Amino acid sequence: MNRFFFRTGALTLILFICTAFNTLFAQTFDHIRAIAQRRVAWLAPSIVFRKIPEENGKDVFELLTKNNKIEIAASGPNAAAEGLGWYLKYYCHRSMSHIGDHLEAISTLPVVKGKVRIVSPYPYRYALNYCTISYSMSFYTWEDWERELDWMALNGVNLVLAPVGMEAVWQKTLKKLGFTDQEALAFIPGPAFGAWWLMGNMEGWGGPMSQHMINGLADLEKKIISRMKEIGIQPVMHGFYGMVPTTLKSKMDIKVVAQGKWVGGFTRPDFLRTDQPAFKQIADVYYSEMKKLYGADLHYFGGDPFHEGGTAKGIDLKASGKSIQDVMLGNYPGSTWVLQGWQSNPDTTMLSGLDKKKVLIIELFGENTNNWEKRKGYEGTQFIWSNVSNFGEKNGLYGKLQRFSDEVYRAKSGPYGNYLKGVGIIPEGINNNPVTFDLMLELGWHKDHINVEDWIKTYVQYRYGKSNTVIEKAWAILLKTVYSSPEIYQEGPSESIFCARPAIGIKTVSSWGTRKRNYDTSEFLEAVRLFASASKDFEGIETYQADRIDLVRQVQANKGDQVYQSMMEAIKEKDLEKFRKNSAVFTGMIKQQDVLLSNSRFFTLNRWLKQAERFGTNAEDKAIALKNSKAQITYWGPDTNARTDLHEYAHKEWAGLLGSLYLARWKAFEQEQLEKLAGNTVQKPDYFKMETSWVNAAGRYEPEKLTETQLRLLIDGLLK
């Protein structure tokens, strides 16, 4: 009798443990199931998640069709999300991107033949640049961030720069140091300029932010961090690296090193010397306030001393780096300092004083540099290979796709492969060139060398929902042109002359950009004609429609370069009629471009302004946000500095902006040159005044869309 009850009890206990075990693992991926429910509700009921061990400490997922369900077995939530994304792309031929989604339901659930097992060779798949937070995400709401995090999870990203809400940390820190509310707010910039403040390039410009704005960003950051933890992403917070307000020295007896000016005429914050008690005192206050706001469960911190200049004169870099890391580790034990591999940073001497096991370097500019190799794996430091590809979120088709694959494989296979810990995307703006992000992040799940000519065929299929030989031919040419990998230094895409501040002999639209097309534009035109010829097969597919408009936009921008050259020849030859004819064609092309881009929400000024407007809940906040949004994409600097190097740095070839400011500037230039060629004396247009007036003027610039037939006729005309 006792034996019977013992056996029954044991069996009950075993069943209870098994049930609890299965329930636990089923619940492990509830937050990934929630992504499926948000983005592909038609697929969510057919997904079964299961937990499996890591493979030698590496993330892994498996796909299997079982009992008419899709089983995704994964080592953790991030791998489970990547598995979901993989199934969507390579079986359902569905995808999500910043320039269009194609997530419509399919009639029959695709079968996974056999078991697919994918292991990531790297512990890290990284995303975002400080600049991305301002150029793309200045006015993001929680809805926008939720979508962003879903996209990242589906692409296997597990480490993300997330310095949202640092305004509240600094405000509370400064008040503890004796600053008034007004004095603290004077240090904090406006909502569209936070990136360069955090990087130590400026203070205060674009503000002041209201308390409501600061509180709102802090609440947003709490949601971001919470969701990241749920879906297996680690946030990279902003650490204390010695940046302090230039006014702090009048409040405290401290030693600082003035950092001078940054490009555009901005005064940099001071660098607080680390060889004094005040350094640790202030750092401890900063981290204490961060813990109160965002918790102690944080493990990665960014922050780069002397970013893009500044001066380290009289500073012991080795000792300073050690002090910065020590106070970081003292407040967040075991944390990792994430440094940007940009220009000469991180300084070799500073790096020599650090515990390199607690340092991670982001090789930013991989499409043009190989600092990881020149510096022998950053002198034996963990690094992530990434690419910028886009500066200022300027429009333009660009991305050295095969180089991405080649360099990652070369770094992994070479003598410094042990230090390569991941891949990443670090664009200054993310609303462009979705193919570059897809490829780069997928490299985080491939151990073998990828031939992009083969990979692009799968991309075409999942981006547009089906295979198409014409589209594949078009993309094969795009790989040879705008997405080729020439050994030419280039900071982002080739720029559009339409967006330039008018002048004679313009070499670049922005200070560090290029107008040169490092590809055959006639070959590119052939690719676009092929792509557009398939439009009837892809009606209603957002990804195709967005790409078609972007491709035609690039054709029109390329042609604009040629017409501008004819205008310059006419001025040199003093040929009034030739200039009149070509300038009329040029301004007509700007109008056409404005009409074309009005037909996609991804290329409109209205979209950006609406984001800014909703950032504030009262008239004053809305006015600050709108001015920030418009100043950033035009003169980008102090209202009194017409000669700033940053004007047009973040120009946008957008409907609304083309048809207003850009057209008005070129019309003024046209009139000036016609008068000069006619022998009349004329005053040069004040373009800076035009820009500041435009920034301060009202206007929503609502786009007017064409019918599909009208749009097709317009495109056919532009591609002749």
Please check whether residue 175 is in contact with residue 181, taking contact to mean a CB–CB distance below 8 angstroms: yes
Bin 265: left if φ > 0, else alpha if -120 < ψ < 50, else beta.
left
CA neighbor of 124 nearest in space, from 319, 382, 306:
382
**What pLDDT, in 10s, does the model give residues 231-252?**
999 999 999 999 999 999 999 9
Scanning the structure block, which residue is given the tokens 């300084």?
Answer: 347
CA distance readout (Å), 594 to 272, 398, 589, 711: 48, 21, 9, 12
Neighbours of 10 (CB within 10 A): 10
Please check whether residue 236 is in contact with residue 254, taking contact to mean a CB–CB distance below 8 angstroms: no
Where the chain has pLDDT below 70, the residues are: 1-27
**pLDDT computed for residue 28 by the predictor:** 74
Question: Could you please report the per-residue DSSP string of 497-549?
Answer: GGGSPP-SS---SSTT------S-HHHHHHHHHHHHHTGGGGTT-HHHHHHHH
Distance separating alpha carbons of residues 15 and 383, to the nearest angstrom? 47
**pLDDT computed for residue 26 by the predictor:** 44
**In the 3-class helix/strand/coil scheme, how is 318-378 assigned residue by residue?**
HHHHHHHHHHHHHHCCCCEEEEEECCCCCCHHHHHCCCHHHEEEEECCCCCCCHHHHCHHH
**pLDDT computed for residue 192 by the predictor:** 97
Distance separating alpha carbons of residues 99 and 549, to the nearest angstrom? 11
pTM of the model: 0.94
Domains of the chain with bracketed CATH: 27-119 (3.30.379.10), 124-450 (3.20.20.80), 498-512+535-718 (1.20.120.670)
Per-residue tokens: 210 = 């209201």
- Say which residues have a Cβ less than 8 Å from residue 694's Cβ, sequence separation at least 6: 630, 634, 660, 661, 664
Helix pair angle (77-90, 452-464), 10° resolution: 80
DSSP 445: G
Scanning the structure block, which residue is given the tokens 């340092």?
Answer: 359
Distance separating alpha carbons of residues 335 and 658, to the nearest angstrom? 47
Distance separating alpha carbons of residues 624 and 647, to the nearest angstrom? 19
Neighbours of 392 (CB within 10 A): 24
**What value does the CA radius of gyration of the chain take, rounded to a whole number of Å?**
27
State the greatest distance between any 2 C-alpha atoms of the chain, in Å, as a whole number.
118
Neighbours of 406 (CB within 10 A): 16
**pLDDT computed for residue 386 by the predictor:** 98
* Spatial strand order in the sheet of 60-66: 47-51, 69-74, 60-66, 115-119
Distance separating alpha carbons of residues 664 and 671, to the nearest angstrom? 11
CA neighbor of 651 nearest in space, from 630, 627, 634:
634
Question: Could you please report the per-residue DSSP string of 574-614?
Answer: T-HHHHHHHHHHHHHHHHHHHHHHTT-GGGBHHHHHHHHHH
Distance separating alpha carbons of residues 94 and 101, to the nearest angstrom? 8
What sign results for the dihedral spanned by CA atoms 647, 649, 655, 659?
positive
**pLDDT computed for residue 558 by the predictor:** 98
What sign results for the dihedral spanned by CA atoms 191, 192, 195, 201?
negative
**pLDDT computed for residue 639 by the predictor:** 86
Helix then strand then coil, in percent of the chain rounded to 5, is 50, 10, 40
**pLDDT computed for residue 265 by the predictor:** 87
Is beta strand 256-257 parallel, antiparallel or unpaired with respect to 270-272? antiparallel
Neighbours of 610 (CB within 10 A): 15
Scanning the structure block, which residue is given the tokens 């904090």?
Answer: 188
> Residue 347 burial (CB < 10 Å; 0-12/13-18/19+)?
middle
φ, ψ at 579 (rounded to 5°): -65, -45
> Residue 503 burial (CB < 10 Å; 0-12/13-18/19+)?
exposed
